[in-house]
């Protein structure tokens, strides 16, 4: 089993992070352009919701089916199978130093590569994935902080977004 794990600390409360993690327009802003991640049955995160992942430019050889195994506040747990099998957990919780304002976010992927073609060339792919995961987490942090700043500014001026 292989492990890919990243953490960030966002200057945004839990609720704002939850919106960024699940709302389509916000999620599309931080998701990696190297990965096409598409819902099969609408933008849903309830248990059993199906999604498909494909690494851009590598075609159907590197495609995987994802299913939401668990969704609760602060957690989306996916199981996946295809060119790789395993679990992808997105977990976020209030930072103990400032729960009202800061949120820790973790992405943990535990997997093994099942496709023999992918396994043969996995070393450079995994290095690229690790780099891309770090960049994606920085984008996620920026989107969370921008979203919270915009929400806080609208609340302060009494402007309500519909």
In a domain, 160, yes or no: no
The domain containing residue 80 runs over which residues?
2-155
Number of domains comprising the chain? 1
Whole-number pLDDT of residue 159: 55
In a domain, 162, yes or no: no
Spatial contact of 80 and 103, defined as CB atoms under 8 Å apart? no
In a domain, 35, yes or no: yes
CATH of the domain at 59: 3.30.530.20
In a domain, 97, yes or no: yes
- The highest-confidence range among 33-37, 58-62, 69-73, 123-127, by mean pLDDT, is 69-73
Spatial contact of 31 and 51, defined as CB atoms under 8 Å apart? no
In a domain, 57, yes or no: yes
Tens of pLDDT, residue by residue over 14-57, are 999 999 999 999 999 999 988 889 999 999 999 999 999 988 77
In a domain, 40, yes or no: yes
Which is nearest to 126 in space by CA: 57, 38, 63, 55? Answer: 55
Distances (CA, A) of 23 to 16, 33, 35, 48: 10, 17, 18, 18
Query: Is-above-0.95 flag for pTM?
Result: no
Q: Which of 36-50, 57-71, 121-135 has the lowest mean pLDDT?
A: 57-71
In a domain, 161, yes or no: no
Determine if residue 94 is left, alpha or beta; phi over 0 gives left, psi from -120 to 50 gives alpha, anything else beta: beta
Distance between CA 115 and CA 109 in Å, rounded?
A: 17
């Amino acid at each position: 089993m292989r492990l890919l794990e990243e953490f960030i600390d966002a200057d945004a409360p839990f609720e704002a992070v939850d919106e960024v993690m699940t709302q389509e327009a916000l999620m599309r802003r931080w998701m990696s352009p190297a990965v096409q991640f598409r819902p099969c049955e609408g933008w849903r995160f309830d248990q059993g919701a199906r999604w498909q992942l494909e690494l851009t430019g590598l075609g159907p050889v590197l495609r995987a089916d994802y299913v939401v195994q668990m969704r609760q506040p602060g957690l989306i747990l996916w199981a996946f199978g295809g060119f790789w099998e395993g679990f992808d957990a997105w977990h976020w919780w209030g930072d103990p130093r400032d729960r009202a304002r800061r949120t820790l976010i973790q992405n943990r992927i535990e997997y093994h590569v099942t496709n023999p073609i992918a396994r043969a060339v996995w070393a450079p792919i995994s290095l690229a994935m690790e780099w891309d995961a770090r960049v994606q987490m920085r984008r996620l942090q920026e989107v969370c902080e921008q979203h919270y700043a915009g929400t806080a500014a609208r609340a302060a001026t009494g402007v309500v977004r519909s």
